[in-house]
Amino acid sequence: MYTSAIEKTLAVAFAKYPVPVAPVLSPPNKNGGGDFQCNSVLQLAGRMRMKPGDLAREIADAMDLAGIAEVTVTGPGYLNFILADGYVETLARASAAAQSMVDPVATPETVVIDFGGPNIAKALHVGHLRSFVIGESLRRILKAVGHEVVSDIHYGDWGLPIGKLILGIETSVISTVEAGGVPNVDWSLDQLGEFYRLGNELTKSDPVFYEKAKDNTLRLQAGDRDLRALWSRVRAISLAGIEGHIKLLGAHFDTLDGESDVDPLIPAMIAALQEAGLATESDGALVGQVVEDDSLPPVLLRKSDGSSLYGTTDLATIVDRIAKYEPDRVVYCVDGRQGVHLKTCFMLAEKAAAIGVSGFTPLPHLVHADFGTVNDASGKPYSTREGKPALLEDLIDEALEKARDVVTDDIDGETARKVAIAALKFADLSTDRRSGYVFDPERMMSFTGRTGPYLQYACARVSSLLRKAADDGRGGPGDIAISHPADRDLAVEVLGFPAAVHRAAIELQPKAVCDAAYDIATALSRLYAEVEILRAPDGEREGRLALLTWAGATISTALDLLGIEVPERM
């Protein structure tokens, strides 16, 4: 609703042209000068085969925004809007009073988000951090703009790693029995990790063990009762352990399905693909070719021994999700290094849908929201001294330790935890998700600069000011009033927030929300430096307190969309 008058007038102006281009408002270029900008004229001009500058002037002249904003044309054909001073105040008051900060999109979709993706019996490592953190933020952002969202963790619980884990268990437990010990069935997650490591080592050292691990996987998938019982036990222990991480990271999953859950759908799916000519034999295995040449590998659907693979369960999961939710979109928040795997799965599903293969229609839009790696100072993926991917737990511990160093002594452990997680998450979310970033506890925990703790502090400071205002007997917030340029600057930043959320939802980039929150917080800091608040004269004081309340609430909404909690005091 924030700049609805401008948006509506723009839409009317654009609608006069015979090509469908929807105008969007964005923050101004740093040197553009205005309060908001619309760059969509360039697109319209391209379609209309007109000079963008001429078209922009034509549109600017046609827009009647008297009393609302002044329009100028800058650059190659940007429309710049400078809100009329009285209108900033009117808009700010209306926005602050509105039921919800962000307007819903015109056509809400059902979106499944596939994120987290931990493998049972393997400790979560640094790569999983990003999937959990970005996935949760996207879940919140998509919901905030009105989409129906189903989040699914998609446990890795059905492939060769399980065969290796079972091998590890068999080997260790048998040796314990031989040594006169009693097999312990109440394993911890760490012990399971040990079993997996052992199984994995064995398969690397000896082809006989590798065959055994493969055979375990096959027998499990074929329904061997003992193996299924062991697997269920392991899965339950593992899930209980992972739950702790999920809680700590504050992720929410509507469904906790795994690869194994779609196993019953595989035979019919493979038969349908075969019948449609999309799955063919190759050296005894079954593959789904997605291109004519060898520019992309085929999707491996069934090994020659009959077992299914990662791609098989991913395809069957598409079929399952269509049947369960009929989604418009499935967003996979998965490491960029799995790009080829997902791309080939998507292509095969699209081929199947195009010729109406049963189960694959109506095919949702399949999107890979990929992300880069967490790196060390030298730019290499963050790892342990032994060169293995760092464990998520160690990363969180490092952040917690740092947080205890930086927060003051009288802050409780709960607040320190919120600060640590905020630092970790904001560092992860505030860059373009597709690029990697450097894990630097010192910098991410700093209370100044573009960090999670800085934004938490901005909220806590507003709360503290409001508490003081309530105590000094001069009255609290009234109606928002703009009495100084610093008030106006802050209001304009806050007014831009809903557009940032929409951009984040469209581009699947939480960064847009981070940027908006940071811009509001810096405008707040400038306000503190330039004007009085509690000691402002009557009239000005209530209006400014109301403005601060609104700005603080907006930053805290932004943090909530990032999955970051706000401590009351810091």
Q: Among residues 392 and 427, whose Cβ is nearest to ligand ARG?
A: 392
Give me the least distance between CB of 332 and ligand ARG, in Å please: 6
A 10 A CB-CB count for 367 gives 16
Cα separations in angstroms, 140 against 386, 434, 502: 37, 19, 12
Q: Among residues 242 and 416, whose Cβ is nearest to ligand ARG?
A: 242
Q: Judged by CB under 6 A, which of 7, 89, 103, 114 binds ligand ARG?
A: 114
Cβ neighbors of 467 (< 8 A, separation 6 or more) are: none
Give me the least distance between CB of 278 and ligand ARG, in Å please: 20
Q: Phi/psi zone of residue 170: left (φ > 0), alpha (ψ -120 to 50 degrees), beta? A: alpha
- C-alpha to C-alpha distance for 554 and 364, rounded to whole angstroms: 33
496: nearest Cα among 32, 102, 90, 11: 102
Cα separations in angstroms, 561 against 19, 336, 433, 508, 536: 35, 23, 16, 12, 33
Q: Among residues 139 and 417, whose Cβ is nearest to ligand ARG?
A: 139
**Interaction mask 129-168, ligand ARG, x per CB under 6 A:** -------------------------x-x------------
Q: Among residues 80 and 344, whose Cβ is nearest to ligand ARG?
A: 344
Q: What is the DSSP string of 247-262?
A: HHHT---SB--BGGGG
Span near ligand ARG by CB under 6 A; candidates 114-122, 136-144, 247-255, 273-281: 114-122
Give me the least distance between CB of 453 and ligand ARG, in Å please: 30
A 10 A CB-CB count for 477 gives 19
**Interaction mask 326-365, ligand ARG, x per CB under 6 A:** ------x-x-------------------------------
Give me the least distance between CB of 502 and ligand ARG, in Å please: 27
User: What are phi and psi for residue 265, nearest 5 degrees?
Assistant: -85, -15
The structure tokens listed for 25 are: 């408002």
Total residues contacting ligand ARG by CB under 6 A comes to 8
**Helical segments of 145-256, H only:** 160-178, 189-205, 207-222, 225-249
Q: Does 314 bind ligand ARG (CB under 6 A)?
A: yes
Q: Among residues 128 and 302, whose Cβ is nearest to ligand ARG?
A: 128
Give me the least distance between CB of 193 and ligand ARG, in Å please: 14
DSSP class of residue 125? B
Q: Among residues 155 and 497, whose Cβ is nearest to ligand ARG?
A: 155
Give me the least distance between CB of 535 and ligand ARG, in Å please: 55
- C-alpha to C-alpha distance for 526 and 268, rounded to whole angstroms: 63
Give me the least distance between CB of 484 and ligand ARG, in Å please: 51
- Contact status, residue 346 vs residue 353, Cβ threshold 8 Å: no
**Interaction mask 266-305, ligand ARG, x per CB under 6 A:** ----------------------------------------
Q: Among residues 154 and 450, whose Cβ is nearest to ligand ARG?
A: 154
Span near ligand ARG by CB under 6 A; candidates 112-120, 277-285, 437-445, 528-536: 112-120
CA-based torsion, 222, 225, 227, 231: positive or negative: positive
Span near ligand ARG by CB under 6 A; candidates 13-21, 95-103, 111-119, 521-529: 111-119
3-state secondary structure 36-92: EEECHHHHHHHHHCCCHHHHHHHHHHHCCCCCCEEEEEECCCEEEEEECHHHHHHHH
- C-alpha to C-alpha distance for 280 and 409, rounded to whole angstroms: 66
- Contact status, residue 541 vs residue 534, Cβ threshold 8 Å: yes
Nearest residue to ligand ARG by CB is: 117
| Bridge-based pairing state of the strands 280-282 and 285-288 | antiparallel
Give me the least distance between CB of 119 and ligand ARG, in Å please: 5
Q: Judged by CB under 6 A, which of 27, 117, 327, 543 binds ligand ARG?
A: 117
Q: Among residues 121 and 169, whose Cβ is nearest to ligand ARG?
A: 121
Give me the least distance between CB of 325 and ligand ARG, in Å please: 15
Give me the least distance between CB of 397 and ligand ARG, in Å please: 21
**Residue 373 amino acid letter:** T
Give me the least distance between CB of 306 and ligand ARG, in Å please: 22
Q: Among residues 117 and 436, whose Cβ is nearest to ligand ARG?
A: 117
Widest pairwise Cα distance in the chain: 91
Q: Among residues 317 and 375, whose Cβ is nearest to ligand ARG?
A: 317
Q: Among residues 77 and 156, whose Cβ is nearest to ligand ARG?
A: 156
Question: Residue 24's beta-bridge partner residues?
Answer: none
Q: Judged by CB under 6 A, which of 37, 40, 119, 375 binds ligand ARG?
A: 119
Q: Among residues 126 and 424, whose Cβ is nearest to ligand ARG?
A: 126
| Distance, CA of 460 to chain centre | 25
200: nearest Cα among 169, 226, 221, 179: 169
Helix (H, G, I), strand (E, B) or coil at 150: strand
Number of separate helices (H) and strands (E) present in the chain:
20, 13
Q: Among residues 251 and 517, whose Cβ is nearest to ligand ARG?
A: 251
Give me the least distance between CB of 152 and ligand ARG, in Å please: 9
- Contact status, residue 185 vs residue 243, Cβ threshold 8 Å: no
Span near ligand ARG by CB under 6 A; candidates 113-121, 189-197, 213-221, 520-528: 113-121
- C-alpha to C-alpha distance for 56 and 14, rounded to whole angstroms: 10
Give me the least distance between CB of 385 and ligand ARG, in Å please: 23
Helix (H, G, I), strand (E, B) or coil at 26: strand
Q: Among residues 92 and 318, whose Cβ is nearest to ligand ARG?
A: 318
Give me the least distance between CB of 490 and ligand ARG, in Å please: 41
The footprint of ligand ARG (CB under 6 A) covers: 114, 117, 119, 154, 156, 314, 332, 334
